[in-house]
Amino acid sequence: MRITPQDASLRTCEICTLAPVMPVLVVEDAANARPLAEALVSGGLSALEVTLRTGAALDVIREMAQVKGGVVGAGTLITPKDAEAAKEAGAQFGVSPGATDYLLDACEAIGLPLLPGAATATEAMRLLARGYGMLKFFPAEASGGAPALKAIGAPLPQISFCPTGGISPENAETYLKLGNVVCTGGSWVAPEDLVQSGNWSAIEDLAHKASTLGKR
């Protein structure tokens, strides 16, 4: 059951390479979970991050975990209890805005691959020293955006990133052009109004457009 940091990074890197954009989802109603996941997967975005920011989040993960072709993860993991609940609900990976030893220890112990967050060279180096080479760059835009991430990558080329926080269709390409970026995280592919109205075809269209970003 236990997973090493190296294996965790290999798995999260594999997940991040599934598509250029990983949807960051805040879902209030579990009834929307399955059709939302189906629309995103049909549009070409198979790696899904469900943030633990709503009371329905764990039920949403349970529903999405049953969608064929989807790889569902739990975002906003803060505590070991969050990690355990996410794994029990069916999450195949976890995402955290930062990283603590308590959270890293817990995810490794239960075998949940974690994409830990870092915003500085020191944080990235600390995680690399532990064995994590695939990281989340958060909050991306507030931390200096693509220029900052490019600068961090110069002395640390062995680290890959998934930047999230302020990513949009307008700036995603800038990040995806960086050699140390595997994918970006973004919430624009599942706007709240479209989810609430059940406009799954519109969400599938947004997902399809996002799935082509960075491709030439």
CA distance 207 to 189: 6
CA distance 185 to 171: 12
Beta-strand ranges (E) seen in the chain are: 21-25, 47-51, 71-75, 93-95, 114-115, 117-118, 134-137, 160-163, 184-186
209 assigned to active site: no
CA distance 163 to 138: 6
170 assigned to active site: no
Of the listed 38, 49, 63, 108, which one is catalytic?
Answer: 49
What residue type is 8 in one-letter code?
Answer: A
Of the listed 63, 87, 136, 204, which one is catalytic?
Answer: 136
Q: Would you name the residues annotated as active-site residues?
A: 49, 136
